[in-house]
A and B are shown apart, each in its own frame.
Chain A
Amino acid sequence: MSEPILEIEGLQIGGPEKESLAVDGLSLSIHAGETHALVGESGCGKTMTALAILGLLPRGFRTRGGSIKLLGEEITALPPARLRALRGSVMSMIFQEPMTALNPVLTVGRQISEVIVAKKILPPKEARERAVELMGQVGLPRPATLYRAYPHEFSGGMRQRVALCVALAASPRLIVADEPTTALDATVQAQILELLREIQTRTGAAILLITHNLLAAGFLADSLSVLYVGSLLERGPAAQVLAEPLHPYTQGLLASQPLLEIGAGALLKAPARLQAIAGQVPRYQDKPPGCLFYDRCGVSRAQCARERPPLAPFGASRYAACPYASPTLWRQTHA
């Protein structure tokens, strides 16, 4: 197997409080042309992970352990200048809110071509042509005209396309997409996801998709990690995880989705009643001593409160951090 574009090993991210970890022991790897989805509720450390990869952790947060390798280069302890050189050209990020992700005083074309010029890929004139070309490729109509437009003249979907162009401008090998479709309406979501996949096919970039939309993950991702309060609860090929979730948390996430239709042939009817997971995600500062999911879990036993189950292999390619992980329960209730 070739070298992965991104390889994270046992990543730990700590906040201002010394003891508590916002992300604890996250491992994943993404190869060229692959998509890995990071799913979980809000406050589970998904965005923290993304920011750590780009070296953009907010003040007070830093990586306390583990490694992040980008094309084999350890990037957790790189000097700022080197990180800056990697950002944009080797890795780039797409943000959740397209309405604010573009600079309002610059024309959209300028924002795209600027990256190309700043990264010394092309001289200004060619960079403009390349930007127009990119805008055409992401499906913006009349790109040569819209090159001169300002972001406020665009709809949310169009802005997200432009943001994609900015992220793609310097042909990065890794695209970190932080909730790229959450702020968009349903049809536009579908278009953007489709576009992401199209781009991936064309450029062979690796995508780290951060989302709480399991349908989006199922559509785009090859593999999937379920993150809960900073820890991995389940990992495996996306289609398998979504078709037969092992961990009670993943099952709960799926059961709370209004419509499910996952995997080849495996159809799940929309349940008569949506089942929300009771309770709330604990803050990472007050993690329970045992299983993180203990107090919200339907199958937990007394032992779960005492010791935290490690991520254990389950079959050939799947992992789950639960001794009671089993697809049988899910099959009974949802098949």
Chain B
Amino acid sequence: MKKRASEIAARGATGLGPAPFAPRPAPERAEKGAPASVPPRYPLEPAPRALARAREFWGRFRVHYFSLFGLVALAFIGLAVSLGPVLYGIDPFEIVSAPFMEPGGGNPLGTDYVGRDVLAGVLSGGRASLSVGFFAALFTGAIGLSVGSLAGFFGGALDAFLMKVTEFFQVLPTLLFAMVLVTIFGPTLWMETLAIGLASWMSVARLARAEFIKIKELDYVKSAVSAGAAPRRLIFKTILPNALPPILVAAAFDVSFAILLEGSLSFLGLGDPNQMSWGLIIGQNKNYALDAWWTIFFPGFAIFLSVLAVCLVSDGLNHALNPRARKSFS
């Protein structure tokens, strides 16, 4: 190192102006003047609270009015189905008046073909539809993420095997597969959830795999490897957080898909018969659709509105979760 000082001096003194890489006095560094033995100590600023991060996320979410609308609609539906049945107080399976009573009058949304209250049905039915939708999407995400991340990260034979399994599931018609599972294992709410999850995890798996394959080739992963990171750390700390936003968005969209699937199963009479659900109401009244529109319109609209709300919210998530959209540090 010593010889360099003279070399540089010589280079600087060649008279050709400043040498390209000749050291210039660095004022900042000179002021700091940190001797090698006594490193400077900097006080650490307090960690940003989770609240601040949540606020930032919210700030990016709320600028999308449609997503905001979706969130409001979802909150409204959630409140209605959780508190509604209690407040309304009418058993959805109880025959309360004559069949096919028009909306208004004693029954706000009319009665169905046996004289059950449609509003009570819509309010109670939402519980099954929404909870199955939510938990099925959770299940979908869990399977899809595990399969996809393992396949994408390790590649090779494991990847080939897992992708073959995924393709095997993918060629099964979704609804038919769910129907078969529910028929075999019994029509309970949990079975419906599992069946929907098992029938629809493939797209998340493929997405997760693609993200992992893409990200594991990036420099920051290589840099983590060169800093000595083990596979587990790479998967969970380095790659997963970067792969998560699109997967979360896909999983949120899956909620709406699961709501639709649950509706289809119930419509076909394969849902839990002891559990009121939107699909069940529509399925039971389908023959009278032209005479008593309200029997299928209101549960149908409830499905439409929840699916729309979930889609809009997941769209908003997409915007808010993109790390590159984060505003600059100040």
Contacts and interface: CB of A to CB of B under 8 A. Distances in A.
Given A144-B43, A148-B48, A201-B1, A261 B20 contact: yes
Interface string A72-87: 0000000000001111
Contact of B39 (A133, A148, A264): A133
Contacts of A149: 329
Interface string A209-237: 00000011011000000000000000000
Contact of B42 (A118, A136, A152): A136
A93 B223 contact: yes
B164 interface: no
Interface in A163-216: 163, 166-167, 169-170, 176, 186, 189-190, 193-194, 197, 200-202, 215-216
B46 to A, nearest CB: 10
Contacts, number: 145
B7 interface: yes
A307 B8 CA distance: 41
A163 B223 contact: yes
A132 B14 CA distance: 39
B324 A104 contact: yes
A200 B226 CA distance: 19
A294 interface: no
Contacts of B238: 103
A317 interface: no
B290 interface: no
B225 interface: yes
A202 B36 contact: yes
Instruction: Classify chain A's interface size.
Output: 35 or more
A152 B326 CA distance: 9
Given A128-B44, A219-B21, A166 B242 contact: no
A89 B23 CA distance: 30
A118 B228 contact: yes
Contact of A215 (B14, B21, B34, B219): B21
Given A95-B219, A118-B233, A267-B14, A216 B41 contact: no
Contacts of B218: 100
Interface in A10-47: 33
Contact of A114 (B19, B29, B237): B237
The 9 A-B pairs with the shortest beta carbon distances in the complex, nearest first, are A88-B228, A153-B329, A87-B228, A93-B226, A88-B227, A264-B10, A100-B219, A219-B21, A149-B329
Interface of A: 33, 54, 56, 84-89, 92-93, 95, 97, 100-106, 114-115, 118-119, 128-129, 132-133, 136-137, 139, 141, 143-150, 152-153, 163, 166-167, 169-170, 176, 186, 189-190, 193-194, 197, 200-202, 215-216, 218-219, 239, 259, 261, 263-265, 267
12 contacts: A87-B225, A89-B228, A105-B323, A132-B42, A132-B44, A137-B40, A148-B329, A152-B326, A166-B227, A170-B228, A189-B21, A267-B14
